[in-house]
């Protein structure tokens, strides 16, 4: 039985990271994620870890690069504009095959956008977190508890793959207060320091190096290995929630905060006799392709993509699986305007009534 | 009888630096000091971007190759989590004084307990000789074909002078590698910086004035004379800060 606490999403992430073995954090202030660095600034030293407030997002992610190379479980967090600045470092982490956790508590965009919550970074998260054509596993929890569970095990994936992992939440989930059950501290010793790292605490007695620079044809081989890894993720690591989809004629697809509002709408519509369900990607990359590809399209009349961003960003990923077998609709709010129960319900009802044909 | 041999952390490979380039000498000095201090297994070289990145081919010790300008940030992550290691970054002038200006000044200001060795040859060597933040007034480069004009490009940045204004750094010094005396002094300066770091005392910064025969379009010998008449009068060698000496 874990330890129950009432925590903000951001703080829950920070505590889960510590319990998951994180011992290095570097970051830079940006709303709406500030509770993560604030919490870790006092919490990490309590467990022998290190907190550094970087001079920039760029510096912070490169501090993580250095710490990760030593085999220390390391993370940084930010929000949209800051993640753009970290893009260089995330690309280098992927190139040097270094595990790390990146957290994006997203807000309105583009540009400085707004400091209010929005799901405006789906495309950045899933298609190009930096230059050079690489991917990270992208997790999109929809509650503080799910964020805790995902962050707690984030380094298991990151170290397995020697690749950074991204957790994408929006400002709502980062700032919502919920009950969470915290898992126990993962106790780690020098023997757990990965052999590939530059640490010598694990007993390594030969010279080692880590580099993001490769020459041909080695780089091509590295690219091919990454390609195989992404395919393997699709086999092994897809996480998705399918809710009331068995007999559904309409399917809402939504992740994160949008999935919570959408689930309310689904329940209300079910009470009204509408056969509707919800597919909630928990991993945005790998995307739960099969959940959409294998639907019975002789029954399904429409897919409704609900996101807290305009225009919808997940739509192309959905359409690639629907393959024209039914219409795909979208509804969203953006720019810091939040999705609400009534708005989503009315939008879905209008779509079903044919008021939003595309 | 004195025995002369290759420093133990220099890979057994011919240098690919251009003939007469002082990068090889700078790398050798660092490796020799590490031998002197018995830090072969404990040292960690943070290799930056530019011609300095070629050290991934010549450095036989532990190293981490990092992004352009970010070596002081990466070194922060390394040293904070592994304070027992001898950590140094080797950066050129474009890397350190332009794209990495925030990282070097901030790491120095935090008093990070590692050493930055700064090779200043007043040009971007790897990319073909563009203007660097340290390019001298009037110096011709591929992006200042009529010579550097301060009206539009400002003045060469003096990093030792800048860093020595900060409270935290413990040792800040500049040496010119174009004379035997300069080389000997540089070797002593690097050793002093490493000793301060190993004693856990804080940030140390050693600037080495180097050359670029290829992009200066001078013979190796002529670059040494050019340094006497042009570089050294502007970038004055010397110890800019030494809190050890001040305490004595």
Q: Which chain A residues in 308-337 lie under 8 Å from chain B, judged by CB atoms?
A: none
Mean of the per-residue pLDDT values of chain A: 97
Q: Is residue A223 within 8 angstroms of chain B, CB to CB? A: no
Q: What is the pLDDT of residue B214?
A: 97
- Whether B78 is in a domain gets the answer yes
Q: Is residue A60 within 8 angstroms of chain B, CB to CB? A: yes
Question: Which residue stretches of A47-199 are H helix?
Answer: 57-69, 80-95, 122-127, 144-152, 154-161, 171-175
Q: Do residues A256 and A283 lie in contact, with contact meaning Cβ atoms separated by under 8 Å?
A: no
Per residue in A155-195, pLDDT (tens digit) is 999 999 999 999 999 999 999 999 999 999 999 999 999 99
> What CATH number matches the domain at A3-236, 3.40.50.970, 1.10.150.130, 1.10.3720.10, 1.10.10.10?
3.40.50.970
B77 to chain A, closest Cα gap in Å: 4
Q: What is the pLDDT of residue A33?
A: 98
Contact flag B82-A70 (C-beta cutoff 8 Å)? yes
What would the two tokens of residue A155 be? 């380094």
Provide, rounded to the nearest whole percent, the portion of chain A with pLDDT above 70: 99
- Whether B22 is in a domain gets the answer no
CATH number of A241-352: 3.40.50.920
- Whether B31 is in a domain gets the answer no
Question: With 70 as the cut, is the pLDDT of residue B174 above it?
Answer: yes
Q: What is the pLDDT of residue B5?
A: 87
Per residue in A246-295, pLDDT (tens digit) is 999 999 999 999 999 999 999 999 999 999 999 999 999 999 999 999 99
Q: What is the pLDDT of residue B14?
A: 85
Q: What is the pLDDT of residue A218?
A: 95
Q: What is the pLDDT of residue B13?
A: 85
**CATH number of the structural domain spanning residue B217:** 3.40.50.970
Q: Is residue A207 within 8 angstroms of chain B, CB to CB? A: yes
CA distance linking residue A22 with residue A100, whole number of Å: 9
Q: How far apart are the first and last CA of chain B?
A: 36
Contact flag A55-B106 (C-beta cutoff 8 Å)? yes
Per residue in B89-144, pLDDT (tens digit) is 999 999 999 999 999 999 999 999 999 999 999 999 999 999 999 999 999 999 99
- Whether B27 is in a domain gets the answer no
Residues shown for chain B: 248
Query: Which residues in chain A are closer than 8 Å to B60, comparing Cβ atoms?
Result: 207
Contact flag A69-B74 (C-beta cutoff 8 Å)? yes
- Whether B96 is in a domain gets the answer yes
Q: What is the pLDDT of residue A1?
A: 58
Question: With 70 as the cut, is the pLDDT of residue A358 above it?
Answer: no
- Work out the average pLDDT over A329-346: 97
Q: Which of A279, A263, A256 is nearest to A166 (CA)?
A: A256
- Work out the average pLDDT over A82-95: 98
Q: What is the pLDDT of residue A150?
A: 98
Domain boundaries, chain A: 3-236, 241-352
Provide, rounded to the nearest whole percent, the portion of chain B with pLDDT above 90: 94
Question: With 90 as the cut, is the pLDDT of residue A61 above it?
Answer: yes
CA distance linking residue B26 with residue B17, whole number of Å: 12
Q: What is the pLDDT of residue A149?
A: 98
Q: Do residues B74 and A66 lie in contact, with contact meaning Cβ atoms separated by under 8 Å?
A: yes
Question: With 60 as the cut, is the pLDDT of residue A21 above it?
Answer: yes
- Whether B29 is in a domain gets the answer no
Question: With 70 as the cut, is the pLDDT of residue B1 above it?
Answer: no
CA distance linking residue A317 with residue A305, whole number of Å: 10
The number of folded domains in chain B is: 1
Preferred mutation among B9, B13, B34, B64 to probe A, highest tally of A CBs within 10 A: B64
Contact flag A63-B63 (C-beta cutoff 8 Å)? no
Per residue in A221-256, pLDDT (tens digit) is 999 999 999 999 999 999 999 999 999 999 999 999
Q: What is the pLDDT of residue A215?
A: 86
- Whether B152 is in a domain gets the answer yes
Q: What is the pLDDT of residue B200?
A: 98
ipTM above 0.95, yes or no: yes
Contacts of B7 (CB under 8 A, 6+ apart): B28, B31, B32, B34, B35
Q: What is the pLDDT of residue B244?
A: 87
Contacts of A236 (CB under 8 A, 6+ apart): none
- Whether B32 is in a domain gets the answer no
Question: With 60 as the cut, is the pLDDT of residue A356 above it?
Answer: no
A55 to chain B, closest Cα gap in Å: 7
Q: Which of B126, B131, B133 is nearest to B143 (CA)?
A: B131
Contact flag B64-A210 (C-beta cutoff 8 Å)? yes
What would the two tokens of residue A272 be? 């009204």
What would the two tokens of residue B4 be? 């002369």
Q: What is the pLDDT of residue B15?
A: 85
Query: Which range of residues forms the domain containing residue B49?
Result: 41-247
Q: Do residues A18 and A51 lie in contact, with contact meaning Cβ atoms separated by under 8 Å?
A: no
Q: What is the pLDDT of residue B243?
A: 95
Query: Which residues in chain A are closer than 8 Å to B65, comparing Cβ atoms?
Result: 96, 209-213
pLDDT band at B3 (very low <50, low <70, confident <90, very high): confident
Q: Which of B75, B12, B215, B59 is nearest to A208 (CA)?
A: B59
Contact flag A62-B73 (C-beta cutoff 8 Å)? yes
């Amino acid at each position: 039985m874990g330890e129950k606490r009432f925590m903000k999403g951001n703080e829950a992430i920070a505590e889960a990271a510590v319990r998951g073995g994180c011992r290095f954090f570097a970051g830079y202030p940006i709303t709406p994620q500030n509770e993560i660095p604030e919490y870790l600034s006092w919490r990490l030293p309590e467990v022998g870890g290190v907190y550094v407030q970087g001079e920039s997002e760029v510096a912070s992610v490169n501090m993580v690069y250095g710490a990760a190379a030593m085999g220390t479980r390391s993370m940084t967090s930010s929000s949209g504009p800051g993640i753009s600045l970290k893009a260089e470092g995330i690309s280098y982490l992927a190139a040097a095959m270094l595990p790390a956790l990146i957290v994006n508590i997203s807000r309105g965009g583009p540009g400085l956008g707004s400091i209010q919550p929005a799901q405006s970074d789906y495309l950045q998260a899933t298609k190009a977190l930096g230059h050079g054509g690489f991917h990270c596993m992208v997790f999109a929890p929809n509650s503080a508890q799910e964020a805790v569970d995902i962050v707690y095990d984030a380094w298991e994936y990151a170290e397995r793959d020697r690749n950074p992992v991204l957790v994408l939440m929006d400002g709502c989930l980062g700032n919502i207060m919920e009950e969470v059950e915290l898992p126990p501290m993962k106790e780690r010793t020098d023997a757990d320091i990965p052999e590939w790292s530059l640490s010598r605490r694990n007993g390594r007695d030969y010279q080692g190096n880590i580099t993001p620079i490769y020459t041909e044809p080695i780089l091509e081989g590295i690219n091919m290995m990454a390609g195989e890894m992404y395919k393997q993720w699709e086999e092994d690591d897809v996480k998705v929630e399918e809710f009331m989809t068995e007999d559904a004629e309409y399917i809402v697809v939504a992740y994160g905060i949008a999935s919570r509002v959408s689930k309310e709408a689904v329940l209300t519509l079910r009470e009204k006799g509408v056969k509707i369900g919800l597919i909630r990607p928990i991993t945005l990359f790998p995307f739960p392709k099969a959940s959409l590809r294998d639907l019975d399209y002789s029954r399904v009349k429409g897919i409704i993509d609900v996101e807290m961003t305009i225009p919808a960003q997940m739509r192309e990923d959905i359409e690639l699986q629907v393959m024209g077998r039914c219409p795909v609709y979208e509804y969203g709010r953006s720019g810091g305007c939040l999705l609400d129960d009534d708005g989503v319900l009315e939008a879905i009802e209008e779509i079903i009534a044919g008021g939003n044909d595309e | 009888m004195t025995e002369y041999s290759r420093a133990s952390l220099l890979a057994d490979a011919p240098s690919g630096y251009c003939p007469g380039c002082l990068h090889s000498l700078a790398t050798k000095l660092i490796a020799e000091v590490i031998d002197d201090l018995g830090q072969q297994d404990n040292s960690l070289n943070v290799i930056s971007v530019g011609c300095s990145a070629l050290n991934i081919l010549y450095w036989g010790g532990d190293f981490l190759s990092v992004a352009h300008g970010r070596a002081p940030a990466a070194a922060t992550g390394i040293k904070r989590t592994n304070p027992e290691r001898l950590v140094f970054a080797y950066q050129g002038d474009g890397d350190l004084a332009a794209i990495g200006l925030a990282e070097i000044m901030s790491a120095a200001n935090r008093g990070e307990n590692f050493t930055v060795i700064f090779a200043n040859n007043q040009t971007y060597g790897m990319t073909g000789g563009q203007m660097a933040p340290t390019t001298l007034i009037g110096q011709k480069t591929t992006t200042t074909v009529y010579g550097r004009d301060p009206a539009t490009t400002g003045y060469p940045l003096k990093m030792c002078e800048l860093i020595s204004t900060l409270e935290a750094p413990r040792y800040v010094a500049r040496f010119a590698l174009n004379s035997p005396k300069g080389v000997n002094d540089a070797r002593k300066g690097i050793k002093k910086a490493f000793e301060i770091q190993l004693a856990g005392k804080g940030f140390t910064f050693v600037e080495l004035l180097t050359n670029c025969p290829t992009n200066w379009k001078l013979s190796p010998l002529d670059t040494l004379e050019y340094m006497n008449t042009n570089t050294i009068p502007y970038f004055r060698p010397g110890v800019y800060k030494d809190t050890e000496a001040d305490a004595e």
